[in-house]
Structure 1
């Protein structure tokens, strides 16, 4: 069993931070016990008929046999592929350690309760959160420029965060057996609206279907968002189907977490996405969302009619 390091793939500094974390973990655990996406799937050199799908399969297959997942999560728009991986691990009962150097807290109202992450479901699913939000203490000036000194403080902060994350990983209890998936309630659909846009009518059509019981997300309106997030998670995993609104600059964190959970426990899931832009990378097919999202769902739905058809199957 390995330790899976989940991270945003699309910029060198994100990959470098993840590589440093994986390297320090490997020094304690052995290289064969640490898995680093992009690096260990050899993404730039991988050749496959459908490259994005093949990358998804390689990462999913590794997620099925991990000891723990360590995820780097930063900013108000957490990476949707990372969130999918977190949801997958959490649904299987695998420990999840979240690493962040974000100095912001989040709330749904100016004076509302604060969480470490923009979606309280991330806080609720974390076995442990390692958070170092402040720059390291001032060191001796480098003698070059204030910018070089500032870079050194950021680099020291990242090193401290990595060391704390490695320590937290080594303190995890012995692995337990996989958590069995709850038996789904027949004809129940859990719906996850997008926080980025007004509620879309394709989700509301479910409330007019007398043959379907709809359970919807509650945590963003609740006075206790963490407790509500845990209820949302339990309700989603106990539903027969999961329908998320994937609208936004990228798939919303909660939607991505639930897609990962559905993929892990074999629950049908669909993403409503009325329109999207496409990403293109060398050797890959066009992706309308992060490939972990695109291939983690059973269907991407574009209209009310498609939502109704999918529910009525």
Structure 2
């Protein structure tokens, strides 16, 4: 089965994913394509806790796919999609990432250029399809310059989606990560770039509780992708993952680590002192994207709660 991970919250995002699903279904058969929102019948689904049920339905598929294709737009990447990338990749599923972003990114002014803001995405992608430029001008005379601009954008999208289908059909099989070793007293701590109080408060709480602390290396490594792979390896050696999800959204790398940790069966705690909620029609209030909310085993809202969580066996 091929799983299409995409942003769900606007009609144009869902339409783009449906376009990709249709192209892929023509090559593989519709029974081998899974399109979230569409194939979980989200608008019609009735469940006591609808968000959790949607999470469970998606998670059931994420570890037993032939491949995943993830649509990622621009610098602010959907945290639910990034969580799904981490979960699938940690389960041995190859992930093809598609973008039409015209920007590249670096962690320092003169650093190596990356396709995505966080090098973890680049590190985990089996293939990257990047079409950063508008398509050619249409051959016939357009009605207006706006119609021409629309045509060139649609041509760019067509090229990206067609390339994604071809990559999905040829991407090599993935390899499931080896089982984690015995648990330790260590904690991997992922801070938030949005936290006004800095990145050390969670690490200090862990040290105070007698835990060994592992911190991200990808933001300071000379080779960010190698640093990202080291971060992924580190997460597999720890007993717990503690992530600060404060801010307008869960940062993409943090979301990816949450997915990888959930696939590996780690205890994952999200620290968010001032939770805010979304209220999608028919769902329970979510304090984060539902893929983040239910992949995390605990929500912590202050340092005392962090200390209590660290004290549990």
Measured against the shorter chain, the TM-score band is: over 0.9
The equivalent of 2:213 in structure 1 is 214
In structure 2, relative to structure 1, the CA distance for the partners of 1:246 and 1:138 (3 Å cut) is same
The equivalent of 2:308 in structure 1 is 309
Normalising by structure 1, we get a TM-score of: 0.96
Report the Cα distance in structure 1 between the residues aligned to 2:63 and 2:89, rounded to whole angstroms: 11
The equivalent of 1:143 in structure 2 is 142
The equivalent of 2:204 in structure 1 is 204
The equivalent of 1:190 in structure 2 is 188
Report the Cα distance in structure 1 between the residues aligned to 2:18 and 2:114, rounded to whole angstroms: 27
Are the aligned partners of 2:64 and 2:93 in contact in 1 as well (CA < 8 Å)?
A: no
Structure 2: 5+ residue runs without aligned partners?
none
SS in 1 for 2:156: helix
The equivalent of 1:50 in structure 2 is 49
Cα deviation 1:181-231 (Å, max 9, x = unaligned): 221441111111112333252342112333x11101111122211111110
Report the Cα distance in structure 2 between the residues aligned to 1:231 and 1:76, rounded to whole angstroms: 23
Report the Cα distance in structure 1 between the residues aligned to 2:273 and 2:194, rounded to whole angstroms: 14
Report the Cα distance in structure 2 between the residues aligned to 1:169 and 1:189, rounded to whole angstroms: 36
Larger CA deviation: 107-116 vs 298-307: 107-116
The Cα shift of 1:263 comes to 1.4
Report the Cα distance in structure 1 between the residues aligned to 2:218 and 2:97, rounded to whole angstroms: 20
- The Cα RMSD (Å) is 1.3
Report the Cα distance in structure 1 between the residues aligned to 2:135 and 2:174, rounded to whole angstroms: 37
Runs of 4+ in 1 over 6 A off after TM superposition: none
SS in 2 for 1:189: strand
Structure 1: 5+ residue runs without aligned partners?
none
The Cα shift of 1:177 comes to 5.8
SS in 2 for 1:186: coil
SS in 1 for 2:69: strand
The Cα shift of 1:141 comes to 4.8
Report the Cα distance in structure 1 between the residues aligned to 2:213 and 2:228, rounded to whole angstroms: 17
Report the Cα distance in structure 2 between the residues aligned to 1:279 and 1:120, rounded to whole angstroms: 28
SS in 1 for 2:66: strand
| Equivalences for residues 239-250 of structure 1 within 5 A | 239-250=238-249
The Cα shift of 1:140 comes to 2.5
Larger CA deviation: 140-149 vs 249-258: 140-149
